[in-house]
Amino acid sequence: MTERVWDKFLTQNDKDHLAASKQTRIGFGKRPALVLIDVYRGVFGDEPEPLLDAIKTWPGSCGPVAWDAIPHLQTMLTAAREAEIPVVHVTGINDLQDSIEPWAVRRMGPAKELSGEELERRKRRWDIIDEVAPLPGEGVLRKAAPSAFYGTPLAGHLNYKDVDTLIVVGESTSGCVRASVVDAAANRYRVVVVEECVFDRHEAAHAINLFDMDQKYADVMSLADVLEWLAEWKAEKDNAATSA
């Protein structure tokens, strides 16, 4: 079996338990949607930099792992658009424009203490990066909590679109992705997390949270496997439309 990203963090007891367990995969449903969580400027910065350099100007940066994920995110987004499944982009509420403080403000500190350059970056923090910018007709939601579901109309939008399966990408694996995946599972959606399309500034947190989500709330799958399934799903849909 192919080694998983979390294997090196597991104890022998963990591995023995997995070998003795009979885990059932959740699998895809029939009506998928792609949800991109927090692919915003604040976790990328304006250019690729080592993490310890990046956080000097962008304290919430994930460093190189964020930039490394962009081609995978673009590939997944292109496939979703070609398959014509619903696409939803979720980012944070801009506290400087909306006068509503998201949970992250507690760590960012008050805006009045920022220099001019810091304030300019703070204003752009929640902007979705150009590389995966929403197209007209795609949903764009802003949240004030880690979960994409908390305080947003996401569930209502997905229900309206008759969605039963969420393909989840974005960041951070241990934070907003995990919170959104847990809420998605609680709302009875099938959930697929695309391994190459999620990232975190801490390697251990990324790996163990992927492991935990795969054990409890979602199927953590490779980008290649998700793309293969989506292509087959589109072909079946096209054949059904032609036969109708």
Give the active site residues: 176
User: In the chain, where does DSSP find H-type helix?
Assistant: 12-20, 51-54, 64-83, 95-98, 105-108, 116-124, 154-160, 178-186, 203-216, 223-243
Contact 158, 152 (CB under 8 A): no
Residue 216 corresponds to which tokens in the numbers above? Answer: 């409890």
39: nearest Cα among 136, 176, 211: 176
Contact 151, 178 (CB under 8 A): no
**Vertex 56: Cα angle to 53 and 59 (nearest 5):** 110
* Distances in whole angstroms, Cα of residue 204 to Cα of each of 2, 65, 100, 155: 19, 13, 32, 31
Residue 12 corresponds to which tokens in the numbers above? Answer: 């022998």
**Vertex 39: Cα angle to 7 and 35 (nearest 5):** 80
* Distances in whole angstroms, Cα of residue 72 to Cα of each of 23, 147, 221: 28, 22, 13
